Chain A
């Protein structure tokens, strides 16, 4: 334990500094200040804004139709005339399809996050605070869902609802709900033992009032931080499901579907170029990488800014 002392001291000093900073400039400005100092968050934000910008404005600027096929211009390389990122195996403009693919990914990620955050918060709070058979029922259901591999859940939903984005949002959202509900429940269990909750109980406040006025504000920040992590998970899951044909259906472009289509030409030697037609797979693949990287960096940064305790946990401060 001896070697823990300096770490605790550092943690204490850090929290003290943060407290003093909040006192001096206010919590919002203090948070903004921490965000500006967080290089990962800045990098993620720049990347995220760039990717988001291309997703939102790329199709408008490009003006190209993502479904338009030109059979005489298949597998054109990046930089070819009129095609910034080249064309795919059906002669469709790859750039505009990537832009639309980003939109699809973000739309799915947003849908999944909202669904999982709302459901996860509700289930976690009710289970953790109410306890008893209600908690056991919620916990059992959450553990049951959590026990299934994501892809399997998605396949089950696709079987029942058909392929497409809605089953993907539902499947990924439910699995992520389980993840968020588990963490929220743990937080609520911990908070329930704290003095301010005991005081509220003693004061005769109703259960719902305690939950919404006292618990909810305290668990919202960690839940949001957790949700930011699961945005990246949702993007990867959507890409994976589209790759195996369960996600967005043609003609809607999706990054995973484009990688799937493009891999069939990874070794195809384009005669006019004397090189293989790799771009159909590599460009959407790299886009997924950048998108996930941006979201992950932002998530990590937000965690550092808004939930210093998690950062300290990562450093082993709270290990006992």
Chain B
């Protein structure tokens, strides 16, 4: 049940060194020297050190640069691997010299993104993208070691009884529009999230947010170990409440459906300002020269950003992502196609960073179609028909893991007992469907009470998701179930999953991504979150009980118990059919520095990022 993600096949020497360094058996200089001897390149060494919690990556780069740059796959104890192929000596020297000169200002970072963009409004968006990490700041964040550190706040504290948290807001904080952001404004925005955000239930144990001098005081209904988690995510990023209210609310205090907040403007406190937002195409942000700076401990750069601008290009065709990076059309890339990772790792101009991702593919089954999904036996029959291990190998090229319950296997709260459920077994699948009353009908499609087991099956138009959906469709056909695939764009997919009752599609494939799996999965499984984001409209008392236990967990032990209870209930009752989880993969051109995604946050920060001239 521990949280060790070390892969022994990836750089055992480096793994051992990392362990020694983390245990403080060797110093940083010695660590870097030995990494060099082990053949780890500059960027790889910097990433390893950053992942170990070191806050001096440039020093790392300089030190490691003295070593030769050979092909290196370095593993750290958070499961991350960083791979940099051997470069020609002259190239290494040039890159090293540039790195030693230190950050230079200017340039536009061009980043490839594997999804369409969401609107830049934390309170009303249904997804948050990397741009949220440039435009906005959270009150707290995770550092590379996974520790909670201040970001917008200068400090925070919690009461001994776990019923109150205080976040200190420094004076003089500004938003992009020039307005001052004080504790009262932060508290008011958090209250707006409680009122308007569809995801507010994720922090249900929070009672109130009030200002007390320079502090935002968060009072809890009950002690909860997960209290800080949601506040580090994109949905709780700090917005100038005055700007937001002006655009997002009607005179009656209702959400304004025609709001342009997040699409035409955004008023955050991050080092970049919203510039262009073009769905299906790109997002552009520009450096905010008046950025008052950050106290976030692991940022090297405490002032305005080095980059002039960042442009995220939407590339939903998987094969195109790697090609564009190789061609120099983009500088960094989030999630290349799995089949392209090996090729990218062998490219000496690029560095590939991989780590476990808190994500999963699962199938939503709308319970308002009880004729299909109303009974557990049927859902279990469908689940047994799926060869998850095969899909991981064929579609993810091994870059992930099968999931038999809701959590990724690498999560610290993973309950391995879920693996007794949902194993691939065609005979068992057919038996369960038979017992559920489904008999084989015409055209090889099962029937029950005059209803053919044939339904609409929605998937978002993205290459990997389409492959997963197609694989599932064929496996359902093997047990006499016809799922008619409907591939639609992202916005339409969300809309068609979100309707009440039978307005929502029968079945859909959903990919979730969240830094704390349990938090987001309670939204998908909790009965109070029907129809959104409980796309299955499932009411499962065992799941609800587990959610209640989680949201009243005052200790880590209670949280673990609740997490196990939740996973086992999910795996057996199947509000959703779990499929698999993929690793996060980030790739950058070696001319990009200070772009260091790590396992605890979904996306990298851009405060330290710079590009060689």
> Which A residues are within 8 Å of any B CB, using their own CB?
67-69, 71-72, 74, 89-91, 162-163, 245, 249-251, 263-269, 271
- Beyond A67-B477, A162-B486, 16 extra complex contacts between A and B, CB < 8 Å: A71-B391, A90-B394, A90-B395, A163-B486, A245-B487, A250-B466, A250-B470, A250-B485, A264-B317, A264-B319, A264-B339, A264-B463, A265-B339, A268-B343, A269-B343, A271-B342
Note all chain B residues with C-beta closer than 8 A to A264. Answer: 317-319, 337, 339, 463
Q: Which of these, A91, A251, A266, contacts B319 with CB under 8 Å?
A: A266
Which residue in chain B gives the minimum CB-CB distance to A249?
Answer: B485
Does B467 have its Cβ within 8 Å of any Cβ on chain A? Answer: yes
Q: Which of these, A69, A89, A265, contacts B475 with CB under 8 Å?
A: A69
Check A267 against B340 for contact (C-beta < 8 Å): yes
Check A251 against B474 for contact (C-beta < 8 Å): yes
Note all chain B residues with C-beta closer than 8 A to A74. Answer: 394
Check A268 against B340 for contact (C-beta < 8 Å): yes
Interchain nearest-CB distance for B474 vs A (Å): 5
Note all chain B residues with C-beta closer than 8 A to A263. Answer: 319
Query: How many angstroms from the CA of A219 to the CA of B317 in the assembled complex?
Result: 47
Does B554 have its Cβ within 8 Å of any Cβ on chain A? Answer: no
Does B461 have its Cβ within 8 Å of any Cβ on chain A? Answer: yes
Note all chain B residues with C-beta closer than 8 A to A89. Answer: 339, 394-395, 467
Query: How many angstroms from the CA of A180 to the CA of B487 in the assembled complex?
Result: 33
Interchain nearest-CB distance for A97 vs B (Å): 12
> Which B residues are within 8 Å of any A CB, using their own CB?
317-319, 322-323, 337, 339-340, 342-343, 387, 390-391, 393-395, 461, 463, 466-467, 469-471, 473-475, 477, 484-487
Query: How many angstroms from the CA of A74 to the CA of B342 in the assembled complex?
Result: 17
Query: How many angstroms from the CA of A263 to the CA of B320 in the assembled complex?
Result: 9
Q: What are 20 A-B contacts with C-beta separation under 8 Å? A: A67-B477, A71-B387, A71-B393, A89-B339, A90-B394, A90-B395, A90-B474, A162-B486, A249-B484, A250-B485, A251-B470, A251-B473, A251-B474, A251-B477, A264-B317, A264-B318, A265-B319, A265-B339, A267-B323, A271-B342
Query: How many angstroms from the CA of A111 to the CA of B494 in the assembled complex?
Result: 34
Which residue in chain B gives the minimum CB-CB distance to A67?
Answer: B474
Query: How many angstroms from the CA of A72 to the CA of B487 in the assembled complex?
Result: 26
Interchain nearest-CB distance for A87 vs B (Å): 10
Interchain nearest-CB distance for B390 vs A (Å): 3
Note all chain A residues with C-beta closer than 8 A to B340. Answer: 267-268
Interchain nearest-CB distance for A99 vs B (Å): 18
Given A267-B319, A269-B343, also A250-B463 (CB < 8 A) = no
Check B339 against A250 for contact (C-beta < 8 Å): no
Given A74-B394, A264-B339, A267-B343, also A90-B487 (CB < 8 A) = no
Q: Which of these, A71, A162, A245, A268, contacts B390 with CB under 8 Å?
A: A71
Query: How many angstroms from the CA of A201 to the CA of B184 in the assembled complex?
Result: 91
Query: How many angstroms from the CA of A266 to the CA of B337 in the assembled complex?
Result: 12
List of 6 A-B pairs having minimum Cβ-Cβ separation, nearest first: A71-B390, A264-B319, A71-B394, A268-B339, A250-B470, A74-B394
Among A89, A163, A264, A271, which residue has the most Cβ atoms of chain B within 10 A?
A264
Interchain nearest-CB distance for A268 vs B (Å): 4
Note all chain B residues with C-beta closer than 8 A to A67. Answer: 474, 477
Check A69 against B323 for contact (C-beta < 8 Å): no
Interchain nearest-CB distance for B424 vs A (Å): 10
Query: How many angstroms from the CA of A275 to the CA of B203 in the assembled complex?
Result: 51
Given A162-B486, A251-B474, A268-B340, also A245-B461 (CB < 8 A) = yes
Q: Which of these, A68, A91, A163, A269, contacts B342 with CB under 8 Å?
A: A269
Note all chain B residues with C-beta closer than 8 A to A68. Answer: 474
Which residue in chain A gives the minimum CB-CB distance to B484?
Answer: A249
Interchain nearest-CB distance for B463 vs A (Å): 6
Which residue in chain B gives the minimum CB-CB distance to A264?
Answer: B319
Query: How many angstroms from the CA of A273 to the CA of B322 in the assembled complex?
Result: 21
Query: How many angstroms from the CA of A268 to the CA of B321 in the assembled complex?
Result: 13
Which residue in chain B gives the minimum CB-CB distance to A265?
Answer: B339
Query: How many angstroms from the CA of A64 to the CA of B390 in the assembled complex?
Result: 20
Note all chain A residues with C-beta closer than 8 A to B473. Answer: 250-251
Interchain nearest-CB distance for B460 vs A (Å): 12
Check B467 against A90 for contact (C-beta < 8 Å): yes
Interchain nearest-CB distance for A246 vs B (Å): 10
Which residue in chain B gives the minimum CB-CB distance to A281?
Answer: B319
Query: How many angstroms from the CA of A249 to the CA of B485 in the assembled complex?
Result: 7
Note all chain B residues with C-beta closer than 8 A to A71. Answer: 387, 390-391, 393-394, 471
Given A265-B339, A268-B343, also A91-B470 (CB < 8 A) = no
Which residue in chain A gives the minimum CB-CB distance to B392?
Answer: A71
Interchain nearest-CB distance for B387 vs A (Å): 6
Check A91 against B461 for contact (C-beta < 8 Å): no
Check A163 against B474 for contact (C-beta < 8 Å): no
Interchain nearest-CB distance for B345 vs A (Å): 11
Note all chain B residues with C-beta closer than 8 A to A250. Answer: 466, 469-470, 473, 485
Query: How many angstroms from the CA of A68 to the CA of B478 in the assembled complex?
Result: 9
Which residue in chain A gives the minimum CB-CB distance to B470?
Answer: A250
Note all chain A residues with C-beta closer than 8 A to B342. Answer: 269, 271
Which residue in chain B gives the minimum CB-CB distance to A252?
Answer: B485
Among A69, A74, A267, which residue has the most Cβ atoms of chain B within 10 A?
A69
Query: How many angstroms from the CA of A68 to the CA of B474 in the assembled complex?
Result: 7
Q: Which of these, B339, B461, B470, B485, contacts A90 with CB under 8 Å?
A: B470
Query: How many angstroms from the CA of A78 to the CA of B69 in the assembled complex?
Result: 39
Note all chain B residues with C-beta closer than 8 A to A271. Answer: 342
Query: How many angstroms from the CA of A71 to the CA of B470 in the assembled complex?
Result: 13
Which residue in chain B gives the minimum CB-CB distance to A266?
Answer: B319
Which residue in chain A gives the minimum CB-CB distance to B463?
Answer: A264
Note all chain A residues with C-beta closer than 8 A to B337. Answer: 264
Note all chain A residues with C-beta closer than 8 A to B466. Answer: 250
Note all chain A residues with C-beta closer than 8 A to B484. Answer: 249
